Amino acid sequence: MRNLASRHKITERSVINWRTMARTETIADEDLTRRFIATFRESGYAGTSVRDLSNAAGLTKAALYHRFPDGKDGMAAAALDMVCREMDGTVLATLDGQTPLPVRLSHMMDALERFYADGAHACLIELFSQQSAPQSLRDAVRSSTGRWISTLADALVAGGIPPEVARTRSRNALIGIQGALVLCRALDDRQPFAELLARLPLELMATQTDPPTGERRNGT
């Protein structure tokens, strides 16, 4: 009887493990990560639990841990990595090439509009830079932010803007984008983001005799 019960337990455990492993394959990695992104955008890092991610994925927590042994940190890292890669491949990619700077900036505004769904999407760069996020995520955010500033500044320099001014404008552009996204959520109104995208190219390309707000004129 003991051997029979032991065999029964082993068989039952094997069935449970097989079902768990099978469920981990019921959703592709890309679709799974996009569900993570949507969940983190909704609740932030601290406000998102593994249960929330499990519900969004339609998988058990055991199945999620099977694919992400680091738990929520690993899922957040996957979400941030996908967002950063898509940012590089869509928004920042518009700044490459030899077309005139106004054309590239116009394409960048169009890409930003799509990337942030007209201002409806919260930015993981902002959400994962908070102290509640693990240091590894904050380091990744810092790297992505620096790359964004440098890429835009390089494009401005190539378009004839002095390097020091270009970096200031690039940094201010990022401040404006993040601020507009926060304001859209606070007001439940996408207009601030649309207004920011409309004026941003002019601010980035302004002549030094008429600098955008925040720049110093003639050293004053």
Residue 64 belongs to domain with CATH number: 1.10.357.10
For residue 53, give its domain range. Answer: 2-205
Whether residue 190 is contained in a domain is answered as yes
Whether residue 214 is contained in a domain is answered as no
Q: What is the pTM of this model?
A: 0.79
Query: Look-up: residue for tokens 């690993």?
Result: 74
* Residue 23 in this model has a pLDDT that exceeds 80: no
Whether residue 216 is contained in a domain is answered as no
**pLDDT, tens digit, for every residue of 150-194?**
999 999 999 999 999 999 999 999 999 999 999 999 999 999 999
Whether residue 158 is contained in a domain is answered as yes
Count structural domains, the chain.
1
**pLDDT, tens digit, for every residue of 55-90?**
999 999 999 999 999 999 999 999 999 999 999 999
Whether residue 84 is contained in a domain is answered as yes
Whether residue 64 is contained in a domain is answered as yes
